[in-house]
Structure formats: C-alpha cells, structure tokens
C-alpha cells in the first residue's frame, strides 16, 4: 500500500490573522521587536508571504491600531452623551492597558481603518445629538482622548521602568525615601502630600483617572448648557 503525503492543517493566512498575530507579538515583546521577519516566524511562514495581506510595515501598524480601537466601546445611539463618553473613556483606558504599545501609535497614524472611522463617527454623533456644536464636539473628543492617552503613556513608562529595573520600589517606598531629604520648612506642601496621601496608600491611579474624567465631563456639561 502506497504512502500519502501528510496534509497541511495550518490555518490559512489572512489579513486578520496577520494583524492579530502582530498585536499578540507587540503585546508580548513590545513594538520595537516587531518586524516582518519576526511576524512571519511567529506565523510559521516566510516574511514575503505577509505582503500578500499587508502592503508594508505601515499598513501592518495601521491595521493593528484598528484592531485595538475595535475593542473600545463606541457610544450607542440611545445612550446619554455623558454616560457614553464615560464608558468610552474607561473602555479606552482598559484597551491601552491590554496593549500598552498602541498608545504611541493611535495618535500618529495618518490613515484610519474602518473600525476607527466608525468609532469616531459614533462618538461625534453622540456629542452632536446631545446638542454640542461641531467645533465643540471636536474639542471635546480631543480633550477626552488626550486625557486617556496621557494615562496610557504613564502606564507604559511605568511598565518600561519596571522592566528595566527589577527592584524598582513602589510609590510608598519612593515617597518615604523622598521625604527623608526633602526639607519640610522649604517644601511644606510636598511634605504634607507625601505624609498624608502617598505614604499611607501610594498613588491611586484609578481615583486620579475618575477625578480627572469627572472634571472634563462636568465642564463639557456646563459648556453644553451655555450653547443651548
């Protein structure tokens, strides 16, 4: 009886599979180590095979950013604008926590994929239906995204510092060390902050995010009332 060649049961290569593999690779190793060669190796194919599904490295990055944006909750049409913007901001922050590398790309990519375009359409639509003028809606979106992205960049920097310094002290330990040489008479307010807020519990990023988001949304609500 003759022998037969084993069948190749590998999943067919598609654009979505390439993009998702790129996201997984960037999540695991960082964007700096992502190349067409390493991506091809992760997929078990030659790097040249990838160009049947992405035009170049820029197209790959654009597609990866679009996948991350697709994870962000877009404002539903039937949700009040303030609730929708809060949920969108919290969802964006969570997406950047899952994919820290994306925060460096989302504001710099020149082209936008379908998920990103639809997300912007839904967000601007929510603000416009609420009564915000077009210009105010754009400023609102820019302010909210800048706030969320700032927290994403901070998280990325902390992660990079922790990776580079295995024994990096936590916030409370750093505050104790700072308080030891910070003259209380010269810096009374910093000493008060360290003594009463940082040392007892460390920096509460969640509370800081919620506080800032409340300020922005409350300010937008006042602006909306002025425009009515």
pLDDT in tens, 62-96: 999 999 999 999 898 899 999 999 999 999 999 99
**Confidence check: pLDDT of 14 > 60:** yes
Euclidean distance between CA atoms 153 and 205, whole angstroms: 13
Cβ–Cβ < 8 Å for 148, 94: no
DSSP 33: G
Euclidean distance between CA atoms 31 and 100, whole angstroms: 9
Domains of the chain and any CATH numbers: 8-54 (1.10.10.60), 72-227 (1.10.357.10)
| Most confident segment among 8-12, 106-110, 159-163, 221-225 | 221-225
Confidence of residue 109 (pLDDT cuts 50, 70, 90): confident
First to last CA, the chain: 84
The two structure tokens encoding residue 67: 């996948």
Report pLDDT for 28.
Answer: 93
DSSP readout, 97-149?
Answer: HH-GGGGGTTTT-SS--HHHHHHHHHHHHHHHHHT--HHHHHHHHHHHHHHHH
**Confidence check: pLDDT of 7 > 60:** no
Report pLDDT for 43.
Answer: 95
DSSP 47: G
30-43 per-position pLDDT tens digit = 898 999 999 999 99
Report pLDDT for 184.
Answer: 74
- The rounded mean pLDDT for the chain is 85
Euclidean distance between CA atoms 185 and 179, whole angstroms: 12
Q: Angle CA(52)–CA(110)–CA(212) in degrees, nearest 5?
A: 125
Confidence of residue 6 (pLDDT cuts 50, 70, 90): very low
């Amino acid at each position: 009886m003759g022998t037969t060649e084993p069948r190749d049961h590998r999943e067919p290569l598609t654009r979505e599979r390439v993009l998702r593999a790129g996201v997984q690779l960037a999540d695991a190793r960082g964007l700096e180590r992502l190349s067409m060669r390493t991506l091809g190796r992760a997929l078990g194919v030659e790097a040249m095979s990838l160009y049947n599904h992405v035009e170049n490295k820029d197209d790959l990055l654009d597609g990866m950013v679009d996948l991350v944006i697709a994870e962000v909750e877009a404002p539903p049409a039937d949700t009040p604008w303030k609730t929708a913007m809060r949920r969108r901001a919290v969802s964006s922050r969570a997406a950047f926590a899952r994919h820290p590398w994306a925060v460096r790309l989302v504001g710099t990519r020149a082209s936008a994929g379908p998920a990103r375009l639809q997300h912007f359409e839904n967000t601007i639509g929510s603000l416009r239906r609420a009564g915000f003028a077009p210009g105010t809606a754009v400023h609102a979106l820019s302010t909210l995204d800048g706030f969320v992205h700032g927290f994403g960049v901070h998280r990325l920097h902390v992660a990079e510092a922790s990776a580079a310094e295995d024994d990096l002290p936590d916030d409370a330990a750093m505050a104790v060390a700072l308080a030891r040489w910070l003259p209380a008479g010269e810096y009374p307010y910093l000493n008060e902050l360290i003594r009463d807020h940082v040392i007892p519990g460390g920096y509460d990023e969640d509370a800081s995010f919620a506080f800032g988001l409340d300020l922005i949304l409350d300010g937008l609500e006042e602006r909306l009332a002025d425009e009515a």
